[in-house]
Structure 1
Amino acid sequence: MSSLKTKPAKTAPAKVVLAAAAADIVLILAFAAIGRDAHHREEPVLGVLLTAWPFLAGAALGWIAARAWRTPLSVLRAGVPAWLGSVVAGMLLRALTGQTVVLPFIIVATIALAVFLLGYRLLVAGVARFRSK
């Protein structure tokens, strides 16, 4: 009987994982801050955190489901799961906690979070491709 040897899954360097996670967090916080500012909401810091936490939790779920720490800058393997997790789980968590979930907000959040969470990864990929030529 032969033993099956499996290679351990490669993980990106810790500084890349931390930078990508930090970028996702900062961009989701920026999304929440921009939205709150556009609607002239009170309590800037606490309010931003209240708005952002469901999206942050959803992005974390996306990271875990996709094991995004392996390729945290990949648009498909990390960006899409973080984006979809932030939108889908974020909206579900908002609904479950009595926060507003209406179609225009869902549309805006879907587009804005796509631009933020996929956008910087696309920029990083473009710069890497440019540098390799």
Structure 2
Amino acid sequence: MTGAAPTARATERPARRAVALALGLDIVLVIAFAAVGRASHDSDVWTGLGQTAWPFLAGLAAGWLVTRAWRAPAAPVRTGLGVWAVTVAGGMLLRAASGQGTAIAFIVVAAVTLLVALVGWRVIAPVVRRARRR
């Protein structure tokens, strides 16, 4: 049986720094989503931020585990879409289980906002990287 040897690119692991940066950015974006949502409803942002953010942060953690995001943390499709889907679905399920609102309008806004945030930076990052190399 002959098979092509894996390329160096296929076998290389992302640096721990890149993984930590990607995870940190995802966490910051989810917290920012919760903070902006609270502020847009004239709520005290700081007092209830933890209550609003925790379901989505738990969903984010599950998304990282399900997609094994540490293997390709900046991949928009392989990682970003999976992390986004699990974050939204998990966040909404946890919100419902904890008695928080899950109105259809909120689900749509959360899904679109988190899509732009969690996949968007992964689409933009390689463009910025290429531009910096030039």
Structure-2 residue corresponding to 1:112: 113
Structure-1 residue corresponding to 2:18: 16
Contact in 2 for aligned 1:59/1:81 (Cα 8 Å):
no
Q: Does 1:28 align with 2:36?
A: no
Amino acid at match of 2:53: A
Cα offset, 1:131, TM superposition: 5.7
Per the normalisation by structure 1, the TM-score is 0.86
Name whichever of 44-53 and 110-119 sits farther off. 44-53
Q: Does 1:78 align with 2:79?
A: yes
Cα offset, 1:125, TM superposition: 2.2
Structure-1 residue corresponding to 2:6: none
Q: Does 1:90 align with 2:91?
A: yes
Q: Which string of whole-angstrom CA distances, capped at 9 and with x for unpartnered residues, describes residues 49-92 of structure 1?
A: 11111111111111101110011000012211111111001000
Amino acid at match of 1:107: V
Matches within 5 A, 1:111-130: 111-130=112-131
> After the TM superposition, which parts of structure 1 deviate over 4 Å for at least 4 consecutive aligned residues?
129-133
Structure-2 residue corresponding to 1:47: 48
Q: Which string of whole-angstrom CA distances, capped at 9 and with x for unpartnered residues, describes residues 14-43 of structure 1?
A: 00000000000000000000000000112x
Figure out how many residues of one structure are paired with residues of the other and give that number.
Answer: 124
Cα distance change, pair 41–73 in 1 and its aligned pair in 2 (3 A): same
Identify which of 34, 37, 42 aligns with 2:39: 37
Cα offset, 1:132, TM superposition: 6.8
Structure 1: give runs of 5+ residues left out of the alignment: 1-8
CA distance in 2, matches of 1:125, 1:79: 13
Structure-1 residue corresponding to 2:62: 61
Cα RMSD for the two superposed structures: 1.6
